[in-house]
């Protein structure tokens, strides 16, 4: 087995590198080898300064699986022994008798951040991220996080980081005093050597002594901002962290660290911590009974209803939507009359429960709508997606009963149109960077900011607006509102002129002192990220189904053209190259359709489909582009004409790898599921 720690000596400089891929967790093996490397440089009189770094990234913290094994045993002594071993390693860094520099590139989280704080100084690349995310797992720092962080930076940001579990950028960490220098990634090695020389000479480091103020501590925790943070986290974890800081900050560091270890060991024995760790590791604490392993297919009794529903949607799309496609392309929007008709037909409500006017046909019906609409005219599916999947879906998942009756029910009937406003000029995939602000005032909230690329934003009656309550909390500070577009301060700006999906209107929005009453707060403060991620899972199914419909139509057009077009005295269809194109298109469509509707069945059976939703969004959007592109190739110059249907389908299809989360983000989501499952498939 390869060593987890590498030690290199270069004159007066020693470099200790953690190499425990993929995330350089501080596993038992790492904690066993690191003290040996530290002892070696301690006794080497030629070494004057030590760099501690990580290969690929610094460290994502403790190995959660090690903690879980102790939790399963419910062994307090083993927990304390592990903590003592980890903390002894950090103590040996502080007692090395030689300056140490943490050279950070990438993630520096949890135990990794605690290790870095034990060093004399810290230098990081611009794209590094810092934090103590333990509370998100229902636990707390156990390697000095509550004590060293509160002594290193101001109390208020220290408590935010500890109690929110949010991650901060290198720039923010530098501003707080967590690190001493930020450098470009490309020059980290040379900068690290230069910085180590400065540290050795006693330069480049300024530390302010922190004086703990109990009154300030209690005032901070009693504020509204911390109330929102605390309410969203495990009560046991919050109490343990608060006690560690409050009691530890008046003790010598050595005693405070022992207190933290005791609190950590007690906390992980509690059920709340067990649930949090199990959720992170995707471990089912209540295994299903053997006889329940095969889930009943809830759609099996609805097949006839779904078949009739598909026939109805297809007929409507062919008769009512396809003839209007050219008109909608020119006007750049869907008429309210057509929108209302689809509501009357039950397209929006089909997948929702009967109590809200729905047919209770689940995600299968939802996918049918998008497949058939996209088969007729892609823009119609986009308009319906923003309304049904995002706006109505958000209210259904996060709204209270009053909100559902006031907005969801009439929206599903087609009487109200909804929009969803998440994207901003500086926040697309990076939703934690949202700049639109929401500030409490007079029994409500005041919103200021701007949104971009908002489908239905001009014609909608209400818009789901995502805003930030506290920039430092990133995604954990986000909040959602149901905003009525008639309210003062809701402003529609530029109408986008797009490559495709031209029949759906996309606009910029701005909010100027827009007052939203408390009753229109959607869900809980700080929970908007989880809400819209869950909403987008459903939306991705609709997008995948739309790709199925688009590919089917492209296939029909290509087959018809190749059957009728004669070249070299025979139809194009007789050429083997064309046959191969059509065969691959048909194979792709089969795989797309099977995967999409299988994911829909899983959703209707109550399963978590975050992995499947990302997979079908990624693969269907890419397969669809291949299908449509090769259909256009078969049509040749006729297909390239702006007047041809296939050219419109090609232009419309290009958006699919971009919206509902870019395909690059989908791959990150998929890998996250791979990693948390330990590579199981």
Question: What is the structure's pLDDT at 677?
Answer: 83
Segment 441-466 shows an average pLDDT of 96
Q: Residues 603-625: pLDDT tens digits? A: 999 999 999 999 999 999 999 99
CA dist 209 and 230 (Å) reads: 28
Question: What is the structure's pLDDT at 678?
Answer: 82
Q: Residues 22-44: pLDDT tens digits? A: 788 999 899 999 999 999 999 99
Segment 304-328 shows an average pLDDT of 93
Lowest mean pLDDT among 195-209, 257-271, 359-373: 195-209
3-class DSSP state of 671: helix
Structural tokens at position 623: 């397969």
Judge if the upstream peptide bond of residue 291 is cis by omega within 30 degrees of 0: no
* Block residue for tokens 């750049």: 332
pLDDT of residue 160 exceeding 90: yes
Question: What is the structure's pLDDT at 329?
Answer: 94
Structural tokens at position 247: 């009691």
3-class DSSP state of 193: helix
Question: What is the structure's pLDDT at 2?
Answer: 64
* C-beta atoms surrounding 243 within 10 Å: 15
Question: What is the structure's pLDDT at 200?
Answer: 85
pLDDT of residue 354 exceeding 80: yes
CA dist 115 and 126 (Å) reads: 19
CA dist 248 and 171 (Å) reads: 28
Sign of CA dihedral 657, 660, 664, 668: negative
Q: What distance, in Å, lies between the first and last C-alpha atoms of the chain?
A: 25
Report which of 40, 191, 193, 204 is spatially closest to residue 121, judged by C-alpha positions.
Answer: 204
Using an 8 Å Cβ cutoff, are 547 and 620 in contact? yes
Segment 122-143 shows an average pLDDT of 94
Tell me the average pLDDT of the chain.
92
Q: Residues 240-265: pLDDT tens digits? A: 999 999 999 999 999 999 999 999 99
Question: What is the structure's pLDDT at 288?
Answer: 46
pLDDT of residue 208 exceeding 90: no
Q: Residues 438-449: pLDDT tens digits? A: 999 998 999 999
pLDDT of residue 174 exceeding 70: yes
pLDDT of residue 292 exceeding 80: no
Segment 583-611 shows an average pLDDT of 95
CA dist 374 and 542 (Å) reads: 10
Instruction: For 126-275, list the strands marked E by DSSP.
Output: 129-131, 168-169, 181-183
Catalytic residues: 660
By percentage, how much of the chain surpasses pLDDT 90? Answer: 77
CA dist 100 and 107 (Å) reads: 19
CA dist 428 and 393 (Å) reads: 20
Question: What is the structure's pLDDT at 286?
Answer: 64
Question: What is the structure's pLDDT at 296?
Answer: 42
**Count of residues making up the chain:** 681
* C-beta atoms surrounding 222 within 10 Å: 9
Using an 8 Å Cβ cutoff, are 105 and 53 in contact? yes
Q: In sequence order, which residues have a C-beta less than 8 Å from that of residue 594 and are 6 or more positions away?
A: none
CA 194 from centroid of its chain's CA atoms: 37
- Residue 496 main-chain phi, psi, to 5 deg: -75, 140
* Block residue for tokens 């330990």: 678
Segment 271-295 shows an average pLDDT of 69
Segment 577-584 shows an average pLDDT of 96
């Amino acid at each position: 087995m390869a060593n987890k720690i590498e030690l290199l000596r270069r004159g007066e400089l020693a470099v200790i590198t953690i190499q425990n891929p993929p995330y350089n967790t501080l596993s038992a093996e790492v904690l066993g080898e690191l003290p040996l490397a530290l002892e070696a440089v301690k006794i080497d009189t030629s070494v004057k300064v030590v760099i501690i770094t990580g290969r690929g990234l610094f460290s994502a913290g403790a190995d959660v699986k090690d903690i879980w094994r102790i939790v399963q045993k419910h062994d307090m002594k083993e927990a304390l022994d592990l903590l003592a071993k980890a903390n002894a390693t950090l103590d040996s860094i502080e007692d090395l008798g030689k300056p140490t520099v943490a050279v950070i590139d990438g993630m520096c989280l949890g135990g990794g951040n605690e290790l870095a704080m034990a060093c004399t100084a810290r230098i990081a690349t611009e794209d590094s991220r810092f934090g103590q995310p333990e509370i998100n797992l229902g636990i707390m720092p156990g390697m000095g996080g509550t004590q060293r962080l509160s002594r290193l930076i101001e109390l208020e940001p220290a408590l935010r980081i500890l109690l929110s579990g949010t991650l901060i950028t290198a720039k923010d960490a530098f501003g707080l005093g967590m690190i001493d220098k930020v450098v470009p990634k490309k020059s980290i090695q040379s900068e690290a050597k230069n910085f180590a020389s400065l540290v050795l000479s006693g330069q480049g480091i300024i530390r302010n002594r922190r004086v703990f103020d109990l009154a300030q501590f209690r005032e901070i925790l009693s504020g509204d901002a911390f109330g929102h943070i605390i309410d969203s986290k495990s009560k046991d974890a919050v109490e343990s962290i608060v006690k560690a800081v409050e009691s530890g900050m008046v003790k010598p560091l050595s005693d405070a660290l022992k207190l933290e270890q005791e609190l950590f060991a007690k906390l992980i024995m509690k059920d709340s911590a067990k649930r949090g760790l199990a959720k992170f590791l995707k471990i089912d604490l209540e295994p299903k009974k053997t006889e329940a392993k095969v889930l009943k297919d809830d759609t099996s009794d609805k097949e006839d209803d779904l078949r009739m529903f598909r026939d109805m949607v297809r007929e409507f799309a062919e008769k009512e939507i396809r003839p209007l496609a050219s008109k909608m392309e020119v006007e750049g929007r869907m008429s309210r009359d057509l929108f209302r008709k689809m509501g009357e037909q039950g397209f929006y409500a089909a997948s929702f429960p009967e109590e809200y006017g729905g047919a209770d046909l689940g995600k299968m019906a939802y996918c049918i709508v998008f497949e058939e609409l996209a088969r007729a005219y892609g823009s119609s599916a986009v308009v319906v997606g923003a309304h049904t999947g995002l706006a109505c879906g958000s209210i259904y998942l996060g709204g209270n009963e009053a909100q559902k009756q006031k907005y969801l029910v009439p929206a599903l009937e087609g009487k109200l149109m909804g929009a969803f406003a998440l994207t901003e000029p500086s926040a697309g995939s990076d939703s934690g960077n949202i700049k639109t602000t929401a500030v409490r005032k007079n029994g409500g909230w005041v919103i200021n900011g701007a949104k971009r690329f908002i489908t239905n934003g001009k014609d909608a009656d209400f818009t789901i607006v995502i805003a930030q309550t506290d920039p430092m909390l990133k995604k954990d500070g986000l909040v959602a509102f149901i905003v009525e577009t008639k309210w003062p301060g809701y402003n529609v700006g530029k109408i986008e002129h797009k490559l495709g999906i031209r029949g759906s209107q996309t606009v910029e929005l701005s909010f100027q002192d827009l007052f939203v009453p408390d009753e229109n707060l959607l869900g809980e403060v700080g929970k908007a990220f989880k809400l819209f991620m869950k909403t987008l899972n459903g939306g991705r199914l609709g997008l995948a189904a739309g790709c199925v419909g688009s590919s089917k139509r492209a296939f029909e057009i290509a087959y018809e053209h190749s059957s009728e077009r004669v070249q070299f005295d025979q139809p194009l269809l007789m050429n083997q190259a064309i046959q191969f194109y059509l065969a691959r298109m048909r194979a792709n469509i089969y795989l797309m359709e099977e995967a999409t509707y299988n994911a829909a069945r899983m959703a209707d059976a109550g399963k978590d489909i975050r992995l499947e939703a990302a997979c079908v969004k990624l693969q269907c959007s890419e397969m669809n582009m291949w299908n449509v592109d090769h259909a256009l190739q078969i049509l040749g110059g006729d297909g390239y004409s702006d007047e041809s249907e296939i050219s419109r389908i090609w232009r419309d299809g290009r958006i699919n790898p971009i919206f509902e989360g870019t395909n690059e983000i989908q791959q990150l989501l998929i890998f996250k599921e791979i990693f948390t499952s330990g590579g199981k498939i």
